[in-house]
C-alpha cells in the first residue's frame, strides 16, 4: 500500500458561492488521477473515488481495509448522472428522489452496464444518492464523475463526522481530505431497495425514517431483517459486518440507570476502567471513569448527530469497557439502535425483572 503526505483542503461551507472553489479544484485533480479523497456530506464524511474506475475503487477498499463484497454507495450531484449508472428508474424511486434528493436517502436501482462490479460487490444492483451538502455537490461537479464513497474511516471503526476524525484514521493512507466542517445528521443515509417491482424495502435505517417514506409513497414500506445474517452477501453497506465500534468492548444495556451503575461498580472492582454512553438527561447520575453524553434523549436527532463523536471519545478516555443505554426503536431511533447494535457486535445485557 502506498504512503501519502495527506493534505487538507479547507472549504467554508457557509459561503454563499463555492462554485469553482480553488481548493475543491485542487482536490478533484486527485480523483482524475484515479486516487481517492475524503469529503463531507450532511451525514458523515465519505471516501470518494471515480465510480467508473476499477483502480480508484480498489484504492478505496485498500485505504479502509474494507471487505470487497461490501458494496459501495455512488454519490451524484445531478440527476443526469443517473443515465450511465442505472438500468431503469422505477416509479416509486422517482417519487422518493423528488421528495428526498438531495438528502440522506440512498436508493438501490438495477445497475447500468457501465458500473464496475467492484462498486456493487458483484450484485446486479447499484446504490445511489445525492448528498445535501454544498461542498459535496460542488466537489462531485468538479470531479466530473459520480463518486463511489463509503464512510471515510478504517473499516469497523466509528464513522467520521469531522475532518479530524478522518485524519485520525486515514492519515498517510489517502492523498487528502476536503474539510467542510462538522456534518449535520451524523448517521449514514437510509438505504432503500427499489429494484423489485412494486415494493420498497429498507435495508439500512438512517436519516430518512420509515414513517417519512410511507407518507410520500402512500403505501407500506418493508424492513429487511437479513442484515442480521452473517452468511449471505450484503445487499447494502452496513448489513453484514460489525461497524462503528470503539476500541474498548461495548455492551448495550437494556435496563435501569441503577443497573448500569452496578455494572460500572463491578467492573471497577475488577480493576477495569469503565465508561458509560448516555445522554444529557442522565449524565450526572453515573459515577464512572468516563461518562459521555450523546445528545438529548428527548430529541433523538441530537443523539444521532453526536453518536459517532461520543463513541470516538471513549478511545481518548482509555477505558476498558463501555456500557451504553438503549433507545426506543421509532423514527430516527431505528437508525440509532442499528448503529449501536453494530458497534456492540450484538452484545446486549438485559436487567432481569425484579
Cα 102 to Cα 76, 98, 145, distances in angstroms: 9, 9, 17
User: What sign has the CA pseudo-torsion 65, 68, 73, 78?
Assistant: positive
pLDDT of residue 354: 47
Q: What is the pLDDT of residue 15?
A: 66
Q: Is the pLDDT of residue 236 over 90?
A: no
Strands (E) in 205-303, as ranges, are 222-223, 250-254, 274-278, 290-293
Mean pLDDT of 323-338: 96
Percent of the chain with pLDDT over 70: 93
Q: What is the pLDDT of residues 158-171, one digit of tens each?
A: 999 999 999 999 99
Whether the predicted pLDDT of 235 surpasses 70: no
Residue 229: predicted pLDDT:
46
What number is the average pLDDT over the span 23-49? 97
- What mean pLDDT is predicted for residues 302-329? 96
Percent of the chain with pLDDT over 90: 81
Tell me the mean pLDDT in the region 273-282: 98
Q: Are strands 201-204 and 222-223 parallel, antiparallel or unpaired?
A: parallel
User: What pairs with residue 128 in β-bridges?
Assistant: 74, 107
pLDDT at 243: 67
In tens, the pLDDT along 242-253 reads 567 899 999 999
Question: 253 pairs with which residues across the strands?
Answer: 325, 349
Q: Supply the pLDDT for residue 98.
A: 97
Owner of C-alpha cell 482536490: 27
Nearest to 304 by CA among 314, 317, 295, 313: 295
Instruction: Tell me the backbone φ, ψ of residue 307, rounded to 5 degrees.
Output: -60, -55
Task: Output the pLDDT for position 249.
Answer: 95
pLDDT score at 72: 95
C-alpha pair distances (Å), 174 with each of 38, 62, 131, 157, 167: 8, 10, 22, 17, 9
pTM of the model: 0.91
Domains along the chain? Answer: 7-228 (3.90.870.10), 250-350 (3.40.50.11030)
User: Can you give the pLDDT at residue 20?
Assistant: 82
Instruction: Work out the average pLDDT over 97-118.
Output: 93
The answer on pLDDT for 263 being more than 60 is yes
Residue 64's alpha-carbon distances to 54, 230, 243, in angstroms, are 16, 20, 12
Q: Are 85 and 74 in contact (CB under 8 A)?
A: yes
Amino acid at each position: 500500500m502506498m504512503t501519502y503526505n495527506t493534505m487538507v483542503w479547507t472549504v467554508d461551507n457557509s459561503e454563499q458561492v463555492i462554485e469553482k472553489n480553488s481548493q475543491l479544484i485542487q482536490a478533484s485533480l486527485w480523483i482524475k488521477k484515479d486516487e481517492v479523497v475524503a469529503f463531507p456530506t450532511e451525514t458523515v464524511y465519505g471516501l470518494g473515488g471515480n465510480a467508473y474506475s476499477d483502480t480508484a475503487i480498489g484504492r478505496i477498499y485498500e485505504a479502509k481495509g474494507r471487505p470487497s463484497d461490501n458494496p459501495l454507495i455512488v454519490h451524484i450531484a445531478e440527476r443526469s448522472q443517473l443515465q450511465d449508472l442505472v438500468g431503469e428508474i422505477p416509479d416509486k424511486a422517482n417519487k422518493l428522489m423528488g421528495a428526498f434528493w438531495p438528502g440522506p436517502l440512498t436508493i438501490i436501482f438495477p445497475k447500468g452496464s457501465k458500473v464496475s462490479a467492484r462498486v456493487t460487490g458483484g450484485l446486479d444492483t447499484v446504490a445511489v444518492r445525492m448528498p445535501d451538502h454544498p461542498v459535496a455537490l460542488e466537489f462531485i461537479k468538479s470531479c466530473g464523475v459520480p463518486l463511489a464513497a463509503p464512510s471515510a474511516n478504517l473499516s469497523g471503526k466509528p464513522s467520521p463526522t469531522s475532518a479530524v476524525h478522518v485524519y485520525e484514521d486515514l492519515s498517510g493512507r489517502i492523498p487528502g481530505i476536503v474539510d467542510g466542517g462538522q456534518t449535520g445528521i451524523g448517521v449514514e443515509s437510509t438505504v432503500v431497495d427499489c429494484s423489485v417491482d412494486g415494493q420498497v424495502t429498507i435495508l439500512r435505517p438512517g436519516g430518512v425514517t420509515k414513517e417519512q417514506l410511507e407518507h410520500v409513497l402512500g403505501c407500506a414500506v418493508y424492513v429487511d431483517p437479513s442484515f442480521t445474517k452473517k452468511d449471505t452477501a450484503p445487499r447494502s453497506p452496513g448489513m453484514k459486518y460489525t461497524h462503528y465500534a470503539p476500541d474498548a468492548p461495548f455492551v448495550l444495556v437494556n435496563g435501569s440507570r441503577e443497573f448500569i451503575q452496578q455494572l460500572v461498580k463491578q467492573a471497577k472492582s475488577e480493576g477495569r476502567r469503565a465508561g458509560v454512553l448516555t445522554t444529557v438527561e442522565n449524565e450526572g447520575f453515573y459515577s464512572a471513569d468516563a461518562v459521555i453524553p450523546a445528545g438529548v434523549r428527548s430529541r433523538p436527532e441530537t443523539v444521532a448527530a453526536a453518536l459517532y463523536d461520543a463513541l470516538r471519545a471513549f478511545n481518548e478516555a482509555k477505558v476498558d469497557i463501555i456500557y451504553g443505554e438503549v433507545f426506543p426503536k421509532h423514527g430516527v431511533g431505528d437508525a440509532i439502535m442499528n448503529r449501536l447494535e453494530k458497534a456492540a457486535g450484538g452484545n446486549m445485557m438485559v436487567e432481569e425483572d425484579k
